Structure 1
Amino acid sequence: MAGSRLERFGTVFTRVRDLMRSGVIKPPKKPIWYDVYEAFPPTTSLHVKPHTRPCTKKQETVPEIFYREDEVRAFVDKYTELKSHSEMDDSALFEETGKALLRDGIVLRRRGAPSVSAETRDPVLELKLTDMLTEQRSVSADSEDTMEHTTHKP
């Protein structure tokens, strides 16, 4: 047990000094090194062990949970937003709201009706990241070629 207190409650010098002040250690029984340490204390700071405990629990990421109410709330918010900006009739506005949410990645379906077909979805949503990167590289390579041809004209 004394070994566990060693690193938490001061150095050996401070503990012996406090024991001498309280009278537990009498002056004739003090350690040989005490006078030398008191006369020549270390010039550098002493090593203090950090009091951190290793974390046994890993931080778990909480997955996003979407309930049916979230989709309804998103529909209502988008519907009111589009209604304030346009003067369409309700059925056209309903369809535009569904398309806008589809672009945002929220798929709605009516009760008893089949789910939305993939053809009505925005084609940008179907692009893969690798396809986008190769397209971007080809565009940047084409623009560099055109820059070389325009700068090297005689």
Structure 2
Amino acid sequence: MAGTRIERVGSVFQRVQGLYKGGVLTSEELPIWYNVWKTFPPKLEPELSRPVPEAAVKSLVYVEDHIRGHYMKTYAPQTKNHVNLLVPSTMDNSAMEKFVKRFMEVAAQDDGSSSEDIIVEVEKTMQADGYDLKKLNKN
């Protein structure tokens, strides 16, 4: 059966190249990536037998992400400034991003207060600037 050969004999590029040279595929039917791969081949041919390199996975969670999580769990969404993830410019004007920026500014200037104390200070400054931070009801 041909199913046992898949991914063991030749790369995808080699198989597509064989189909093209054999006349099974026309130049219009070639995949988009074929000419890119042919022009810029990889340094090492991808093979199933090559071992996977050992690499440490970096953490993608930043301090700002924890602050955003706290904001979303604690406060009701602001009706005026919703964040539209499809339009990145809306994130700069959102109350949540201003909260995060203020938190980072206060934390950088602070001498070692706890994050709860910094959050209380940021709440006070945001409310003084006219933001209505409504806490969610914990039911």
> Same fold by TM-score, threshold 0.5 exceeded?
no
Between Structure 1 and Structure 2, which shows a larger proportion of helix residues? 1
Higher relative contact order (CA 8 A, sep 6+): 2
TM-score normalised to the size of structure 1? Answer: 0.29
Larger Rg over CA atoms:
1
